[in-house]
């Protein structure tokens, strides 16, 4: 039973990573089109979703990367 639980947990984490990256990319596209408010919305959403990523190392990488983009967007607006 533990194997199934681990497999489901791993799959769930991979889905959260994919969702996080997708929203981050939408934010990147908005940023490149000078739509900074939209970019900020998607970066914030991506950061919230990154909180569901396990293992913690993956979560920390995603949050750190997104935090840098949030700061850059705030300074650019």
Question: What's the token pair of residue 39?
Answer: 């970019």
**pLDDT score at 38:** 98
Could you tell me what percent of the chain has a pLDDT over 90?
73
Element (H, E) at 66: helix 56-76
Distance CA(50)–CA(36), nearest Å, equals 21
Is 17's pLDDT higher than 70?
Answer: yes
Please give the model's pTM, rounded to 2 decimal places.
0.89
Q: Tell me: the pLDDT tens digits for 38-64? A: 999 999 999 999 998 888 898 999 999
- Averaged pLDDT score across all residues of the chain: 94
| Mean local confidence (pLDDT), 19-39 | 98
């Amino acid at each position: 039973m533990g194997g199934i639980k681990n497999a489901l947990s791993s799959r769930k984490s991979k889905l959260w990573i994919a969702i996080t990256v997708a929203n981050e990319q939408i934010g990147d596209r908005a940023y490149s089109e000078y739509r900074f408010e939209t970019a900020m919305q998607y970066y914030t959403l991506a950061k919230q979703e990154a909180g569901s990523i396990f293992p913690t190392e993956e979560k920390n990488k995603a949050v750190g990367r997104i935090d840098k983009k949030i700061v850059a967007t705030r300074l650019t607006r």
